[in-house]
Amino acid sequence: MTLAAAKSQSPRPARPIVQRTRGRTHGAVTRLMSPSDLGEILKPFVFLDLFDHEGAPFELGLHPHSGIATLTYVAEGAISYVDPDGIKGTLPAGGVEWMQAGRGMWHGGGLGKAARTRGFQLWIALQPELELGPTISIYQAPEDVRQDGPARVLLGSYGPASSAIVSPSPINYLGVRLKRGERWRYEPPTGHTVLWTAIASGSLSVPDELQPGELVAFEPSSEAVEFEALTDTEFVLGSAAPHRHDLALGHYSVHTSPDALRNAEAHILAIRGRLVQEGRL
């Protein structure tokens, strides 16, 4: 066998990890990503929170967002929500809440019963043509979240399965469960050079070992990643085309320019005035 033939048959090197973190924990929430750290290199993904609460019920008051979309995925338990129109409901385990804030909206939620509740909330930066657009609210029951093999498609497409939610840009966001010893290979779509994963439970090999509560960012490329479950494990994975815009940050908002941020913050204040008049704030 020639040297060239031997090289052609050698295994391709694994896509390297370039950053890893356990984030910052405050109470039941661990912020794994924010624009001041990994959110800058992984945008359009700008915030990721891992929540794990076991105890008394609680309620989060109405609060605003603009310029972003949030996707909340419940892995265990259930959460309550109050949408921008004041409609209340409950999202059970396996369900998805999608909130595309556009120019600005207010919503709320919490935990209605004393039980363990786990999941992720992801913030996605919107493109300039959408950041001052209308608000979109979608709630998907577990049976409406499509799946291919071990991967539930929370946003985008994987294999023959596609989310019914219209993605604001080229993005895949998957929730994956593997049994110990199972392998699963993720092939990013063309142009998805941004890739990360966060571990909710169990441990993985990629071949570097990943532990519960970790988020890792992979080297920008189009290479696939193969996951091997060292134990029964649950994780989320995001891939996307890069967001080519700066981030102008407000307290609850992310925009592509200071002008867009000021426009949206003025709109949020106007909504607040109406909510106060209605006795909702």
- Residue-wise pLDDT for 165-184, tens only, equals 999 999 999 999 999 999 99
Nearest-5° angle of CA 171, CA 174, CA 175?
160
> What integer pLDDT is reported at residue 116 of this predicted model?
87
Q: Is the pLDDT of residue 9 over 70?
A: no
Domains in the chain with CATH codes: 17-277 (2.60.120.10)
Average pLDDT over residues 15-30: 94
- b/e burial code for range 66-90 (CB count within 10 A of at least 16 → b): bbbbbbbbbbbbbbbbbbbeeeeee
Query: Where residue 4 falls among pLDDT bands split at 50, 70, 90?
Result: very low
Q: Is the pTM of this model over 0.85?
A: yes
Instruction: Name the token pair of 212.
Output: 């519960």
Q: Is the pLDDT of residue 2 over 50?
A: no
> Mean pLDDT of all residues in the chain?
92
Percent of the chain with pLDDT over 90: 78
Average pLDDT over residues 242-263: 96
> What integer pLDDT is reported at residue 109 of this predicted model?
82
> What integer pLDDT is reported at residue 12 of this predicted model?
62
Average pLDDT over residues 40-55: 93
Percent of the chain with pLDDT over 70: 95
> What integer pLDDT is reported at residue 8 of this predicted model?
45
The 3-class secondary structure across 188-251, one letter per residue, is: CCCCCCEEEEEEEECCEECCCEECCCCEEEECCCCCCEEEEECCCEEEEEEEECCCCCCCEECC
Query: Where residue 11 falls among pLDDT bands split at 50, 70, 90?
Result: low
By DSSP bridging, strand 24-26 and strand 17-21 are unpaired
